[in-house]
Amino acid sequence: MEKSKLMKLDEVLSDTKMGKTKLYRLIKQGRFPSQLQHGDGSVVWARLHVEAWIDNLIGEVNGID
């Protein structure tokens, strides 16, 4: 089954291994992709942006620009 292009908060936290406080702090600092308002009043993240952030973090750890 194909994953949704949008991620809810619990999935973002699980995939990034971060807590909610740290996630929102990084968003405020401009160091993590901002959330999007979903039609039902909830917030979601674009999977593409979250995965790119994770790939970038791995690159930094491995010394790749």
Domain residue ranges in the chain: 6-61
The DSSP letter of residue 35 is: P
| DSSP type of residue 33 | P
Beta pairing class for 43-46 and 36-37: antiparallel
CA-to-CA distance for 12 and 47, rounded, in angstroms? 9
| pLDDT value of position 40 | 87
Q: What is the pLDDT of residues 2-23, one digit of tens each?
A: 678 999 999 999 999 999 999 9
The CATH architecture of the domain made up of 6-61 is Orthogonal Bundle (1.10)
Q: What pLDDT score was predicted for residue 29?
A: 98
pTM of the complete model: 0.85
